[in-house]
Amino acid sequence: MSDRPSDSEDLFALPQLESGAPKSGFPHPEMFPLAAYQIVHDELLLDGVSRMNLATFCTTWVDDQARRLMNESIDKNIVDKDEYPQTAELERRCVRMLADLWHSPDPATTMGTSTTGSSEAAMLGGLAAKFRWRKRGGKGIPNFVCGPVQVCWEKFARYFDVDIRQIPLRGDRLTMHPDDVAAHCDENTMMVMPTFGQTFTGLFEDVAGISQALDDLQDKTGLDIPIHVDAASGGFLAAFTAPELVWDFRLPRVKSINASGHKTGLAPLGAGWAIWREAEDLPEELVFNVDYLGGNMGTFNLNFSRPGGQVVTSYYEFIRLGRVGYNRVQSATYSVARHLASGIDDLGPFELIHDGDPLRGIAAVSWKLRADQTFNLYDLSDRLRTRGWLVAAYPLPADRNDETIMRVLVRHGFSRDMADLLLADMRRSLGQLDKHPPTVPLTREEAGGFTHSATAVVSTETLRHAAGLDR
Ligand SMILES: *Cc1c(COP(=O)(O)O)cnc(C)c1O
């Protein structure tokens, strides 16, 4: 390290900032913290503005108290239950609160855990179903039946050697339809897995209808197939804004639910939940005991060390907002979504798929292009990017991947005014595309990588599998 820079020295004139940042090979020399900070800080200026990232489902706005609690918890490991018993206690309170919110028959005694997000929670829900199936005498490789899923379920299937049976889309049906479920189930079906707030369109799948279809199947064949609900973003919405929708533990067949605290739960990134209907629905083989205040506490996670701040901040959000506050926040986002949807409809070239109706889906808008346009949705996405808006365009999943759609997630912090600014930029972009029609429309890859990461990827494996099931 060269001599300490004096106060009068200009940061950008330091030798360390004259050469580029180390990029490969572990660097040898030290750097002043301020110089290193500036290099990292400045490089990140090229990232998109998170609140203008309308492709993400995740929290991009938190209040000052949440930031303070995150900062105060930065050094606490949630796995150290004995050392940080109150963080552990807050997690247990959150589990009981969510079990209550989602109508578990006995919220005080049921099982649940925080996770890093819905992906980990999905793996845990899926593993519990696999263990229960095996306990009932299942042999070989089990399967689960679902509609178009988020990529974490493809991962779960591959990592844990389970068959995924995605019911192919048909025509205008963009969700798993109850009528199609029974035909895909057999004695090796360990669960049916509806998505409550689909990644592609934002639409809710009909959990109650699917449960009824499985009741009918049981009456006919004796097969008793449980449901796990992927409520990644729907779980923290419908519970407040559409309480009459029955999708949760009110249905006895629903044995477990995953949700992302860091999406509509309003917690910062890194928060998810897996909750079981009753304690007996979580097989004991999945539970490991750790020391806790001289006693024992069951843990069931894929990670060992994990930051504690996400749970602390989730608890803060739960008690700060309560049912009344969550209802107000989520109703406001839905109202912005509906306003945006009607504005998009008025623009002309689009056909809405989901208009932000709280009874039909999450606070999002999705749409497709009417036929015979001189541009495609990737061109539009690219134009909007010049103003800083990140709006995902992507093909629908298997069997309907001839169709491209666009989607905006309306989240806490996306105001009506921002929606109007976006609409004005959409109108301007359409004018430009009209005046200068692209001679060669953009492809998905050219439109930018973010469209890819914004949605689930349907693997060729799934396509093959779906095709096989059709036979
Ligand atoms: C986001 C999402 C996931 C993955 O959740 P993470 O919290 O990002 O791990 C799974 N399923 C659905 C339906 C989602 O929207």
Interval 106-136: pLDDT, tens: 999 999 999 999 999 999 999 999 999 999 9
How far is the centre of ligand 1, averaged over its atoms, from the C-alpha of 414 (Å)?
A: 20
Residues touching ligand 1 (Cβ under 6 Å) are 57, 117-119, 122, 150, 152, 195, 197, 199, 230, 232-233, 260, 272
Mutate to test the pocket of ligand 1, among 195, 260, 302, 354 (most ligand atoms within 8 A of CB): 260
Average the pLDDT over 171-182 and give the result: 91
**Residue of 53, 56, 58, 119 to mutate, ligand 1, most atoms within 8 A of C-beta:** 119
21 has pLDDT over 60: yes
The number of the ligand 1 atom at minimal distance from the alpha carbon of 233 is 15
Q: What is the pLDDT of residue 156?
A: 98
Amino acid at 200: F
The rounded distance, in Å, linking the Cα atoms of 222 and 136 is 13
CA of 137 to the centre of ligand 1 (A): 31
Reported as a single tens digit per residue, the pLDDT across 356-371 is 999 999 999 999 999 8
Q: Are 398 and 168 in contact (CB under 8 A)?
A: yes
Residue whose C-alpha is closest to residue 257's, from 265, 270, 248, 244: 248
**pLDDT tens digits along 260-313:** 999 999 999 999 999 999 999 999 999 998 888 878 888 999 999 999 999 999
> What confidence score (pLDDT) does residue 451 get?
43
Domain boundaries, the chain: 11-47, 65-319
What's residue 4's pLDDT?
A: 63
Query: Is the pLDDT reported for residue 387 higher than 90?
Result: yes
Q: How far apart are CA 156 and CA 158, in angstroms?
A: 6
- To the nearest whole percent, how much of the chain has pLDDT over 70? 93
- Quick one: pLDDT at residue 70? 98
Mean pLDDT in residue range 320-347: 98
Nearest-angstrom CA–CA distance, 381 and 63 = 30
Range with the poorest average pLDDT among 86-90, 96-100, 296-300 = 296-300
Q: Average model confidence (pLDDT) for the chain?
A: 92
Say if residue 147's pLDDT is above 70: yes
Residues 6+ apart with CB under 8 A from 89: none
Q: 5: pLDDT confidence band, cut at 50, 70 and 90?
A: low
Contact 383, 434 (CB under 8 A): no
- Letter string b/e over residues 398-422, b meaning 16 or more CB atoms within 10 A of that residue's CB: bbbeeebbbbbbbbbbbeeebbeeb
| Whether pLDDT at 101 is above 50 | yes
For residue 20, what pLDDT is reported?
A: 85
Is the pLDDT confidence value at 449 over 80?
no
The arithmetic mean of pLDDT across residues 169-193, rounded, is: 94
Query: Is the pLDDT reported for residue 382 higher than 70?
Result: yes
Q: Is the pLDDT of residue 456 over 90?
A: no
Paired tokens of 339: 């306003």
Each residue's pLDDT tens digit, 196-248: 999 999 999 999 999 999 999 999 999 999 999 999 999 999 999 999 999 99
Integer Cα distance of 440 and 378 in angstroms: 11
Q: What is the CA radius of gyration of the chain?
A: 24
User: What pLDDT, on a 0 to 100 scale, did the predictor assign at position 123?
Assistant: 98
- Residue 223: the pLDDT is 97
Q: Give the Å distance between the CA of 429 and the centre of ligand 1.
A: 31
Separation of alpha carbons 307 and 319, rounded Å = 20
Dihedral angle computed from the Cα positions of residues 462, 159, 195 and 66, in that order, rounded to the nearest 10 degrees: -140
Encode pLDDT of 414-432 as tens digits: 999 999 999 999 999 999 9
Residue of 144, 155, 230, 314 best suited for mutating to test ligand 1, as the one with most atoms within 8 Å of CB: 230
On whether the CB atoms of residues 315 and 98 are closer than 8 A, the answer is: no
Average pLDDT over every residue of 383-404: 91
pLDDT of residue 304: 92
Q: What is the pLDDT of residue 54?
A: 98
Q: Within 13 Å and on the Cβ side, how many CA atoms surround 381?
A: 32
Predicted confidence band of residue 452 (pLDDT cuts 50, 70, 90): very low
Answer CATH for 65-319 from 3.20.20.140, 3.40.640.10, 3.40.190.10, 3.40.50.1980: 3.40.640.10
State the pLDDT at residue 397: 84
Q: Which of 56, 57, 151, 303 to mutate to test the pocket of ligand 1 (most atoms within 8 A of CB)?
A: 57
pLDDT exceeds cutoff 90 at 36: yes
**pLDDT reading at 12 higher than 50:** yes
Contact 163, 189 (CB under 8 A): no
> What's the CA-to-centroid distance between 340 and ligand 1, angstroms?
24
What is the C-alpha to C-alpha distance for residues 89 and 84, in angstroms, rounded to an integer? 9
CA end-to-end span of the chain: 69
Question: What is residue 138's predicted lDDT score, i.e. its pLDDT?
Answer: 94
Banded model confidence at residue 457, pLDDT cuts 50, 70, 90: very low
117 within 8 A of 270, measured Cβ to Cβ:
yes
**So what's the pLDDT on residue 3?**
54
Percentage of the chain with pLDDT > 90? 82
pLDDT over 50 at 470, yes or no: no
Q: How far is the CA of 420 from the CAs of 36, 188, 341, 343, 387, in angstroms?
A: 39, 50, 11, 8, 14
pTM for this entry: 0.93
Residue nearest to atom 14 of ligand 1 (CA): 232
Q: Which atom of ligand 1 is nearest to the CA of 120?
A: 9
109: nearest Cα among 277, 255, 229: 277
CB of 210 closer than 8 Å to CB of 181: yes
pLDDT at 453 over 60: no
